[in-house]
């Protein structure tokens, strides 16, 4: 057999026997995996399907609030719309023949995404979150235009203006950061915005644990528009929390007046690896004149994705996105999202009780940032590696204003979406926090012994034995909670 398959099997076993604490990872269902591994990968379909439904507000079925009788929350309008899409062939705007099935699959993905996020339009083709962000910049900004986004060192993402990216070479990024409480510094955001007059303001992050004040961001955008007399695109990159928004436990920026929301589909949203762009505006392949307006943003974005920045879409991944969006529309997903946040709060509380110092002193979402330097005198990379030895996977992360080198930062970042998918609850969060504490203490002792040595921590035989014992306990617990694809 091709050794690639042995390696895939080894990875499956690693996932089964360990616990995934990386906040941007998750475990997909068998159905999502099946769609991804399907014959759709054989098909070229550059272009877009015709719009099967007018998503303008008067025709779009309203998302229903969950009722006390959960069974009645089935969005009957939506089901009939889906059936209509799945059964109807419309003329397409593709560059290849044979689109009869992929058109209907992509339209289903679009309809479900719009329903989940109360959007007028969805582009489901971005190959990743980075591609989604780049396409939005490309749709709206000219080279040299200013974009205001969160400082990478304060929790923003590489694609929000890191000098190593292509976007940063094209556009002029200016930044705001977080304050001492770990919250976005909105006063700074306003000050920089009114000084610089950005064309695009972005609220989004990879390491932030509070709920953003979307209303304040809209007010800041309005002030910039008034002062500089040009339209400002207000964009949210909700890659981390999209599943919480879909599950109704986090506010939706599109409900506050944001024009665009980008996300990955593989984090809390629990779909295949990929990107998604949601927008508010006028939908249709014709642009209304003048063309470069926020009203036309859905179509400007479609053009920026293809042919602007990508080639043929990955229809097997789009099918898996459609399946995942269908799962996220079910009532069970609301329960899942609620449990993610509850687990994160329990984990944060337990870590604090055990002596860890947390950025922002806790969490309001799925993610916890821990200052392991201030708590146990460790660097995040050494601690990450030690936790790997016991089967707890997380990642080292810089903290706002971190003085340590990027590869040996003061913090680690962890979260609960993946563990919650497997069914772990409060009791297990207490255990995870206890194991993390034991490992931190073992590292602390080893670290002090090797204080003069700049290399990674060396454990002695006794410490290795203690780590092996924790490894066994983690494995035993993990195996009680099968991966969804094993069920």
Ligand X SMILES: Cc1ncc(COP(=O)(O)O)c(C=O)c1O
Stretch that binds ligand X, among 122-130, 227-235, 310-318, 375-383 (CB under 6 A): 122-130
Indicate the pairing of strand 233-237 with strand 392-393. unpaired
What is the distance of C-alpha 433 from the center of its chain? 24
Least distance to ligand X, CB of residue 169, Å: 18
**104 assigned to active site:** no
Task: List 138's β-bridge partners, or say none.
Answer: none
Tokens 């953003």 belong to residue? 212
**88 assigned to active site:** no
- Angle, helices 76-87 vs 100-117, to 10°: value is 160
Stretch that binds ligand X, among 94-102, 204-212, 388-396, 430-438 (CB under 6 A): 204-212
Q: Name which of 133 and 447 has its Cβ closer to ligand X.
A: 133
Q: Name which of 50 and 162 has its Cβ closer to ligand X.
A: 162
Q: Are 376 and 441 in contact (CB under 8 A)?
A: yes
Q: How many CB atoms lie within 10 A of CB 237?
A: 28
**336 assigned to active site:** no
Is 159 a binding residue for ligand X by CB under 6 A? The answer is: yes
Is 206 a binding residue for ligand X by CB under 6 A? The answer is: yes
Q: Name which of 130 and 347 has its Cβ closer to ligand X.
A: 130
Least distance to ligand X, CB of residue 46, Å: 21
**264 assigned to active site:** yes
Catalytic residue among 25, 44, 186, 438: 44
Of 32, 105, 239, 314, the one binding ligand X (CB under 6 A) is: 239
Q: Name which of 259 and 346 has its Cβ closer to ligand X.
A: 259
Is 26 a binding residue for ligand X by CB under 6 A? The answer is: no
Q: Give CA–CA dist 384/59, Å, rounded.
A: 50
Least distance to ligand X, CB of residue 25, Å: 10
Catalytic residue among 273, 426, 441, 471: 273
Q: Are 376 and 387 in contact (CB under 8 A)?
A: no
What is the distance of C-alpha 352 from the center of its chain? 25
Of 204, 313, 380, 484, the one binding ligand X (CB under 6 A) is: 204
**181 assigned to active site:** no
- Cα–Cα distances (Å) from 372 to 291, 355, 381, 431, in that order, read 51, 10, 10, 19
**273 assigned to active site:** yes
Least distance to ligand X, CB of residue 266, Å: 7
Least distance to ligand X, CB of residue 51, Å: 26
Catalytic residue among 103, 237, 382, 463: 237
Least distance to ligand X, CB of residue 207, Å: 8
Q: Give CA–CA dist 242/246, Å, rounded.
A: 6
Of 15, 24, 151, 416, the one binding ligand X (CB under 6 A) is: 24
Is 237 a binding residue for ligand X by CB under 6 A? The answer is: yes
Is 363 a binding residue for ligand X by CB under 6 A? The answer is: no
Of 28, 40, 109, 130, the one binding ligand X (CB under 6 A) is: 130
Of 129, 177, 409, 411, the one binding ligand X (CB under 6 A) is: 129
Q: Per-residue x/- mask for ligand X, residues 81 to 120, rule CB under 6 A?
A: ----------------------------------------
Binding site for ligand X (CB under 6 A): 24, 128-130, 133, 157, 159, 204-206, 237, 239-240, 264, 275
Q: Among all residues, which ones are annotated catalytic?
A: 44, 46, 237, 264, 267, 273
């Amino acid at each position: 057999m091709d050794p690639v398959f042995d390696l895939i099997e080894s990875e499956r076993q690693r996932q089964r026997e360990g616990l995934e604490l990386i906040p941007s990872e998750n475990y997909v269902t068998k159905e999502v995996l099946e769609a991804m591994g399907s014959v759709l990968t054989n098909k070229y379909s550059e272009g877009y399907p015709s719009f099967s439904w007018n998503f303008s507000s008067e025709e779009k079925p309203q998302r229903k609030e969950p009722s006390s009788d959960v069974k009645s929350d089935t969005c009957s309008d939506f089901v009939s719309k889906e059936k209509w899409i799945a059964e109807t062939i419309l003329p397409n705007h593709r560059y290849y023949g044979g689109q009869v099935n992929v058109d209907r699959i992509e339209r289903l993905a679009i309809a479900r995404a719009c329903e989940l996020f109360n959007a007028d339009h969805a582009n489901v083709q971005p190959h990743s979150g980075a591609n989604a962000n780049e396409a939005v910049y490309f749709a709206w900004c000219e080279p040299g235009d200013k974009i205001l986004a969160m400082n990478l060192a304060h929790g923003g993402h590489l694609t929000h203006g890191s000098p190593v990216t292509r976007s940063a070479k094209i556009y002029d990024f200016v930044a705001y950061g977080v304050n001492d409480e770990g919250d976005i510094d909105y006063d700074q955001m306003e000050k920089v915005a009114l000084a610089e007059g950005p064309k695009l303001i972005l609220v989004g992050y990879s390491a932030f644990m509070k709920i953003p004040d979307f209303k304040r961001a809209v007010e800041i955008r309005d002030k910039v528009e008034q002062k500089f007399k040009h339209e400002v695109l207000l964009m949210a990159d909700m890659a981390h929390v999209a599943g919480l928004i879909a599950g109704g436990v986090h506010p939706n920026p599109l409900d506050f007046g944001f024009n665009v929301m980008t996300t990955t589909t593989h984090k809390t949203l629990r779909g295949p690896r990929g990107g998604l762009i949601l927008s508010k505006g006028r939908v249709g392949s014709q642009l209304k004149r003048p063309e470069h307006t926020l009203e036309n943003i859905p179509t400007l974005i479609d053009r920026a994705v293809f042919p602007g920045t990508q080639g043929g879409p990955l229809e097997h991944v789009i099918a898996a996105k459609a399946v995942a969006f269908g799962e996220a529309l079910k009532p069970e997903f609301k329960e899942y999202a609620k449990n993610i946040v509850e687990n994160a709060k329990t984990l944060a509380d337990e870590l604090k009780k055990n002596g860890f110092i947390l950025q922002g002193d806790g969490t309001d979402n799925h993610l916890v940032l821990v200052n392991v330097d201030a708590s146990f005198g460790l660097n995040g990379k050494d601690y990450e590696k030690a936790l790997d030895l016991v089967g707890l996977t997380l990642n080292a992360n810089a903290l706002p204003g971190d003085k340590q080198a990027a590869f040996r930062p003061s913090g680690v970042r962890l979260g609960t979406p993946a563990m919650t998918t497997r069914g772990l609850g409060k009791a297990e969060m207490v255990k995870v926090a206890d194991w993390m504490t034991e490992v931190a203490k073992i590292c602390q002792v080893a670290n002090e012994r090797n204080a003069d040595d700049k290399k990674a921590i060396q454990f002695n035989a006794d410490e290795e034995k203690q780590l092996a014992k924790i490894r066994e306990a983690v494995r035993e617990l993990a195996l009680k909670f099968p991966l969804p694809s094993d069920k």
